[in-house]
Each structure stands twice: as structure tokens, then as C-alpha cells.
Amino acid sequence: MARSLIGAQIARGIAPNAIRVAEPRAEAREALAREFGVHVFTDNAVAVAGADCVLLAVKPQVMRTVCEGLAAPLGTARPLLISIAAGIRIAQLERLLGARHAIVRCMPNMPALVGAGAAGLCANRNVDADQRALAENIFDAAGIVRWIDDESQMDTVTALSGSGPAYFFLLVEAMEDAAVRLGLPRETARALAAQTCLGAGHMLADGQETAADLRKRVTSPHGTTAAALDVFERGDFSKLVEQALAAARHRGAEMSAELDSEE
């Protein structure tokens, strides 16, 4: 995710030498420097020195360690801090780094890699208008951005758009496998499934019609689409999707609680 955001910023015109990246793995560090021309470091504290914005692109499980190492270097600085770690609440970051910091919690998603991401953002009271604009600028370079006023809804954002690409890939995988079992060559099934979903996504993203409206348009009474949708309905597809999102949201809350339990 950090790699995609770096690429999006440079594509937008940000000078590579304005971006400093701390990366513990030598191979990844060298690749970032070679591909993007950014400054790379092994030490987080050195990387954040003088920064206007610090993006915490780390796994939730290591957030405490990372923040403990940054607390002193950021002690007198006032950069905008952005976290993209799933489940980690702003209040937890404030406890680790200090309540005076301007903090934005963000949940981006995998399609940011191709400039088609969807990011939900939530800010604490210390984030001013310029910093909100900065955060928005970082993420809308790789897709769309939506601000979330109630942080309690960020776990739902995680369940919807953060984890959502995996649901989509699972559906396409199942469609491809089913078509192969029904006789299509694997390559043909894969190409048709992918392009069908790409085209449907474009139609939906245009915003002219809702998903329900588009579904009705493609579904002729007593036709082939209606027959397939009837099977989904008998399997209670909508309820299954709701249960899946609820499970993902619950796991996000658990990850937050796990960080609290370490205290």
C-alpha cells in the first residue's frame, strides 16, 4: 500500500526527493530507491526528521513498537500523522504518541495500486483545514476519498472497502471455476469473467444508476439472468454478505482490543 501511494504522489508531480521512506528490509528499501528515486532509511526516527506529514504504513501488530520509537523524535514536532493500520483507533495513537498531535486514521484498499482505490478517512480535533486537504490529496491521487465523521464507523469502512476487493476476487474466482467445470477453457473463462466485472464496475462508478437499478436493467423476466439470481436468493446471498461484513468489522474491533491488552 505504501508503494502504491508513493507512486501516486510521484505521478501527480511530487518530487521524489521530498519523500523519505523507512523500510527495514534491505531488498525492498533498495527497490524503492531504484524505482522511485526516493530517500530511503533503516531508522524511522531519521526518516521523519523535519517531515510535514508522517504516514504510518505498518501492520497493526507492530504499531506499538513503531510508535514507541517515534514518540521522542516527534516530541516537539507537529507533523500530520496518518495511520493506515486496520483496527487501530485514534485514541490509541494519541496515547502512544501524545494527544497534541494531528492524527488522521485512514483505511485505503488494494485497488490504490492501479489508481482506483477507495479510502475512508477520520480526523482528530487537532487536524486543521490545511492538514485535511493534505491527507485528502495523498489518497485521492490513488482513487476516491470519503471523510467519516464517526470513528466508530471506520471498522465498517474496513469491512466494506478495505476487505472488499477480496470478496470481489472470490466471486470472480468462483465464476471462473464454474465456467471451466461447465466446459469453457480456463483462459477464456478468466478473461470473460474479469472483463465482465470490469465493465459492470465502470457502469456503477459512473454514478448514473444504483446497483439495484443496473441489476434490474440486465434481468429480463424469466430469462437466464433471472434464473441465476434466483439461485443466489435461495442461498440467502444478501444475508451471507451481511454476515461476512459483520465478521470483518468484528475482527477490526478485536485488533484494536488486542493493542489495549498489551498495556
- Average pLDDT in the 199-227 region? 93
Q: Could you tell me where the DSSP H helices lie in 99-236?
A: 129-140, 154-157, 164-181, 186-205, 211-218, 224-234
Q: Is the pLDDT of residue 213 over 70?
A: yes
**Is the full-model pTM beyond 0.75?**
yes
Residue 12 confidence (pLDDT): 86
Could you tell me the CA-to-CA distances from 54 to 35, 103, 134, 141, 213 in Å, in that order? 21, 10, 11, 17, 42
> Kindly report the CA angle at 160 between 201 and 1, in degrees rounded to 5?
85
Q: Is the pLDDT of residue 261 over 90?
A: no
**252-256-259-261 Cα dihedral, nearest 10 degrees:** -110
Interval 169-189: pLDDT, tens: 999 999 999 999 999 999 999
Question: Which stretch of 9-13, 23-27, 234-238, 255-259 has the lowest confidence by average pLDDT?
Answer: 255-259
Interval 46-79: pLDDT, tens: 999 999 999 999 998 899 999 999 999 898 788 9
Residue 218 confidence (pLDDT): 94
**How far apart (Å, rounded) are the C-alpha atoms in residues 51 and 21?**
11
Residue 129 confidence (pLDDT): 96
Residue 17 confidence (pLDDT): 92
Q: Which residues 6+ apart lie within 8 Å of 164 measured at CB? A: 109, 118
No. of H helices and E strands in the chain?
12, 7
- Average pLDDT in the 25-30 region? 94
Residue 231 confidence (pLDDT): 96
Interval 122-152: pLDDT, tens: 999 999 999 999 999 999 988 999 999 999 9
**How far apart (Å, rounded) are the C-alpha atoms in residues 23 and 1?**
13
Of 123, 138, 125, which Cα lies nearest the Cα of 53? Answer: 138
Which H or E run includes 31? Answer: helix 26-36
- List, in order of start, the domains of the chain with CATH numbers: 2-156 (3.40.50.720), 164-253 (1.10.3730.10)
User: pLDDT tier at 207 (50, 70, 90 boundaries)?
Assistant: confident
Residue 175 confidence (pLDDT): 96
Q: Is the pLDDT of residue 263 over 70?
A: no
Residue 130 confidence (pLDDT): 96
Indicate the average pLDDT of the chain.
93
User: pLDDT tier at 20 (50, 70, 90 boundaries)?
Assistant: very high
Alpha carbon of residue 209 to chain centroid:
25
Residue 208 confidence (pLDDT): 85
